[in-house]
Amino acid sequence: MKRVAVLLAISLAFVTPLAAEELSFERAFLLRNISGTAANPGPEPHHARIVRSNAWTTFFDAQAFVSFSSETGPAEQRTEVFSTNWFSAGAQRTIGSRGLFLVRGRASLEPVTMQEDEGYPQMLQLISPVELTDAPQVDRMRPQSLLGEAAAHFAFRTSEASFLHLYGAFVGDPALGTPSYALRSSSREFAEAPFAYDVQESFHEATRVVTLGWSSRILSIEGSAFHDARRFGDYSGIDDGDIDSHSARLTLTPMRNWSIQVSQGTLGEDLFEREISTASISYATSNVASSLIWTEQEDLQSLGIELIARVKRNTFSARVENVDRPAGVFGYTDVENTSHFMVGYIFDVFASGAWRGGIGANVDYHIQTHDLPEGYGHKPQAVYVFVRFRSE
């Protein structure tokens, strides 16, 4: 299984279309879905390179950061160099006068571009354990899995602007929440994950995903059944198993630039079963993207606001989060909630029309830290300096 995932990751890198084109609503319907059946708001599909060749439309998208991080506050300053990255590719074609069919894959080399199996340094991050007997992982963010999606998607047009659709994935994203942070238009210019990851994001890489839905220009209703995969080790393997989870999502798109979603899911079974509810409002244009995201997982809640604004070669970013924490995870204290602020800036050194490369920095700042143990210092914070390279 690991060899199959590696081969898919390598092969996706060579499926690079050469030019982009304008697409009709019918042809763009599935291409708008950036992850699973979820789409970023905006007037155009959010895939960088889209090319039509006879009956097929192909696409490719990629992004990579090479970062140097420095954390201050703890007595021992922690510094590290690592890379966060992903790339995806796929193809879509029409079937008759009413059908659309798409295949898509996404991979990340993070399991091999980080110094530690546990991922990269991110002070006050929390990752829940795979086994109940294990301790949670703190102060590090897990890598993205080597194989993030391997899926097929079929749609049948029921009117000029509505579709029935069926999504099936060996590895994929169920109908639950927003697109994942690495793909979300309001988040993809951040070098690091949100601190709300464990509550807000941890369910996006499921296995045996089956999603059935109906969508129009304004309304989308979907339901999914899937296996709640729990990643482990060096994140190059796949935790497959029986279908044990389900979810449902309602998405409103009153205008192309706005997206409002509410969703609910039950993940896992027996001792690992947990309920998740989420709601979000997102807005995006070619220069601005923002999201307000609320999530509740069991008795833990998170609320986050993120914003990206582009002015010519300058990109400004900000994220504010408030996250509930299990008592005792940070040095066995009574801290049950943390708040985080992140600001960032990227200057694009080159923008060729097909690729964009820049240098930038993010600063993570934490408040409500006076109850943390002395090991975190008075005002813990982290700086990430990075080079960013992405398709566009």
**DSSP assignment of 256-299:** TTEEEEEEEEEES-GGG-EEEEEEEEEEE-SSEEEEEEEEEETT
Q: Residue 366 CB: number of other CB atoms within 10 A?
A: 20
Residue 352 φ then ψ, to 5° = -90, -5
Within 10 angstroms of residue 307's Cβ, the number of other Cβ atoms is 17
How far is residue 203's CA from residue 201's CA, in Å, rounded to a whole number? 6
**pLDDT computed for residue 292 by the predictor:** 98
Q: pTM higher than 0.85 for the full model? A: yes
Amino acid at the residue 256: R
Tokens of 133: 């007997």
Instruction: Supply the pLDDT for residue 347.
Output: 97
What is the reported pLDDT for 364? 94
- To which residue do tokens 């039950």 refer? 266
pLDDT recorded at residue 324: 94
Give the CA distances from residue 152 to residues 29, 193, 317, in Å, rounded to whole numbers and listed in that order: 14, 27, 33
**CA distance linking residue 33 with residue 27, whole number of Å:** 12
Cβ burial, residue 54 (10 Å; 0-12/13-18/19+): exposed
Per-residue pLDDT of the chain (392 residues; tens, 9 = 90+): 444 344 334 333 333 333 334 456 666 778 889 999 999 998 767 777 888 877 888 999 999 999 999 998 877 788 999 999 999 999 999 898 899 999 999 999 999 999 877 899 999 999 988 776 678 888 999 999 999 999 999 999 998 889 999 999 999 999 999 999 999 999 999 999 999 999 999 899 899 999 999 999 899 999 999 999 876 556 777 777 899 999 999 999 999 899 999 999 999 887 778 999 999 999 999 899 999 999 999 889 999 999 999 999 999 999 999 999 887 788 766 778 889 999 999 999 998 878 899 999 999 998 877 777 777 877 888 999 999 999 88
Report in angstroms the alpha-carbon separations of 229 from 174, 178, 203, 234: 11, 18, 8, 15
* Spatial distance between the Cα atoms of 35 and 181, rounded to a whole number of angstroms: 11
DSSP secondary structure string, 330-387? TTS-S--EEEEEEEEEEEEEEE-SSEEEEEEEEEEEEES-TTS-GGG-SS-EEEEEEE
Predicted local confidence at residue 333, as pLDDT: 67
Burial degree of 301 (CB within 10 A; 0-12, 13-18, 19+): middle
- Please report the pLDDT score of residue 17 as a whole number: 38
Domain 2-391 bears CATH identifier 2.40.10.10: no
Contact 388, 63 (CB under 8 A): yes
What string of DSSP letters covers 295-330? EEETTEEEEEEEEEEEETTEEEEEEEEEEE--TTTT
Write out the two tokens for 95: 């079937």
- Res 16: pLDDT: 36
What's the confidence (pLDDT) of residue 329? 83
Give per-residue burial for 139-167: e unless 16+ CB within 10 Å, then b: bbbbbbbbbbbbbebbbebeeeebbebeb
Spatial contact of 155 and 168, defined as CB atoms under 8 Å apart: no
Two tokens at 336? 């049950």
Scan for tokens 């703890």, then name that residue.
74
The DSSP call for residue 112 is G
Q: What is the pLDDT of residue 232?
A: 57
